[in-house]
Each structure stands twice: as C-alpha cells, then as structure tokens.
Amino acid sequence: MSRYALVTGGSRGIGRAVCVELARRGYPVVINYNSNTAAAEQTAALIAAEGGTSELLPFDVADAKAVEAALEKWQEKHPDDYIAVLINNAGIRHDQLLVFMQDGEWESVLNTTLGGFFHVTRRLLKDMMTSRWGRIVNMASLSGVKGLPGQANYSAAKAALIGAMKALAQEVAPRGITVNAIAPGFISTDMTKDLDEKELKKMIPVGRFGRPEEVAALVGFLVSEDAAYITGQTISVNGGLYT
Ligand code: NAP
C-alpha cells in the first residue's frame, strides 16, 4: 500500500510549493485545483523536474458531491493505495467591510475554507484511521488568529478552521494521525498581488513578504516522522508580525 499526498489548491502559490516539497520527500502527489489546469500542469512539471510523480485531480472543495465523486474515482484507480497526507490549502478572499458585505462574499469564503476542510477531510479520514497513520495540515492565516478589518468572512473561516483542527486533533491522536494548522502572514502569491507591499512590509519585523517555499518547509516538517508528537497546534510563519 503506497502513501499518497493530496494538496488542495495545489495549482498555484503556497499549494504549488507544498506539492514540490512533498514530492521531494518521496510522496506521489495528487494536485487538486478548481479550474486553472494550465497552472496545475506547471506544478506537475516542477515535480517531474525533481524526479517526482504527480497526478491532477480537479474538483471544487466547496462542493460536497464533487469532492465525493472525485475521491471515489481516485480510490477506484488506486485500490491498494491511500492518501496518508492531506494539506487543506485551497482558499479564497473576498474582502469587504462587514456593513457592505454581500451574502455571496460571506458564503463563498466560508464554503471554500471551512466547507472544503470538512468535505475532503471527512472522506479521507477513514483510510488514515484504519491504516493508523496520517498527517493533516490546514492552511489558516494570521487573519484567523488576529482578525483583520475588511476580512470578517475570511477571519471567521480561518478561525473556525483552527477550532475544527483542535477538535479533530484530539479525536484522531490515538490513531497515529496528527492535525495541525499553519498561520501564514503576508506571502507573495496571486492572492496578495493586489496589496500595497511597500507599505505593508514596514509592519513586518523581517522587512519583507514571505515566499511560498518558506511555508512549504514547515509543511514538510509537520508531515515528517520527527513531528509525530506535534498535534493540535497553530504555527505562524509571518516574519515576526506579532499576533
Ligand atoms: P492563490 O495563489 O490565490 O491560490 C489559490 C489556490 O486555491 C489555487 O490553486 C486555486 O485553484 C485553489 N482554489 C481556490 N478555490 C478553490 C476551490 N473551491 N476548490 C479547489 N481549489 C480551489 O492562494 P495562496 O496565496 O497560495 O493561498 C493558499 C492558502 O494559504 C489559502 O488558503 C490562503 O487563504 C492561505 N493564506 C495565504 C496567505 C498569503 O499571504 N498568500 C496568507 C495567509 C493564508 P485554481 O488555480 O484552479 O484557481
């Protein structure tokens, strides 16, 4: 039985760097994404260049039925394997002051981050439990720890993700499964390209935005055997931006 790693939102940004890191650690990587096939293929090419293997598995993490159907199909193709490492990374922002926030802005952000965590994790947990080994890492945010104005939807989704992570960590610890969260600060990706980096970096003690690889390095450690005693934690990667 081979252990696979699944990264949601693996086509771009932090997810792409995480895919490459897990491939370097020897995992065959399942690259999930929503719609950007060209970007997902670039992630696959980076993995291949490192001598790793990967496959694309597009689905919308917010859509419970789509998640179920895609993972069912994957399992049929891989009857003897299981997804032992799950990185819940897919996320979106729709920033707006709460007083102006539309239903769709609230719901889409909650459904992607929190719904996505629920749909994908529930489906993959059984195999991790019967195999008595698993690693789940959830991409939270500084926004979910501290709260950021203009992001009530995003802060709520990420804070809820941290709460769910803490509960699940206690449920599955006896089965050799660890569940943690990472709270990145400002990382240079498509998600942050509209922000005023010159202004914002003045607040960051390290004096710059982070790189996706700097988040991926922590994911690599958390999924390793060395991190078997770390669970239920939220670890910040934020250049010293005090939370
Ligand atoms: P990004 O560059 O915008 O990439 C987002 C990724 O998520 C893409 O691969 C996208 O797929 C995928 N995705 C979005 N909605 C999806 C859905 N419904 N189903 C499946 N996949 C979906 O974002 P990023 O900056 O790398 O952020 C990755 C994670 O880190 C997010 O959870 C984000 O909230 C969190 N985070 C980021 C920062 C930061 O500063 N960048 C800070 C804190 C936390 P497509 O390519 O198909 O659209």
Residue having the nearest C-alpha atom to atom 36 of ligand 1? 141
- Give the helix/strand (H/E) hosting 169: helix 152-172
CA proximity to 7, closest of 186, 137, 202: 137
pLDDT of residue 236: 98
Nearest-atom index, ligand 1, CA of 186 = 40
- Ligand 1 centre to CA of 66 (Å) is 18
Q: What's the token pair of residue 183?
A: 């709270």
pLDDT (0 to 100) of residue 142 = 98
**CB 239 less than 6 A from any atom of ligand 1:** no
Separation CA 107–CA 50 (nearest Å):
38
Q: In Å, how far are 28, 48, 69, 87, 194 from 76, measured between CA atoms?
A: 17, 24, 11, 21, 41
Give every CB contact of residue 201 below 8 A, 6+ residues apart in sequence: 186, 207, 208, 209
Q: Is 192 in the pocket of ligand 1 (CB under 6 A)?
A: yes
User: Measured between alpha carbons, how far is 235 from 209 in angstroms, rounded to an integer?
Assistant: 17
Closest CA to 28 of 8, 9, 2, 46: 2
Q: Is 13 left (phi over 0), alpha (psi -120 to 50) or beta?
A: left
User: What are the residue ranges in the chain where pLDDT is below 70?
Assistant: none
CB distance 187 to ligand 1 below 6 Å: yes
Predicted local distance difference test score (pLDDT) of residue 170: 98
CB of residue 214 inside a 6 A radius of ligand 1 = no
Distance 59 CA to ligand 1 centre (A): 14
Nearest ligand 1 atom to alpha carbon 91: 32
**pLDDT score at 1:** 80
Catalytic site residues?
154
Q: Which residues of 206-222 are buried (b: 16+ CB within 10 A; e: fewer)?
A: eeebbebebbbebbbeb
Residue 233 near ligand 1, beta carbon < 6 Å: no
Q: What confidence tens digit (pLDDT) does each residue in 66-125 have? A: 999 999 999 999 999 999 999 999 999 999 999 999 999 999 999 999 999 999 999 999
| pLDDT of amino acid 123 | 98
Instruction: Compute the distance from residue 80 Cα to the ligand 1 centre, in Å.
Output: 30
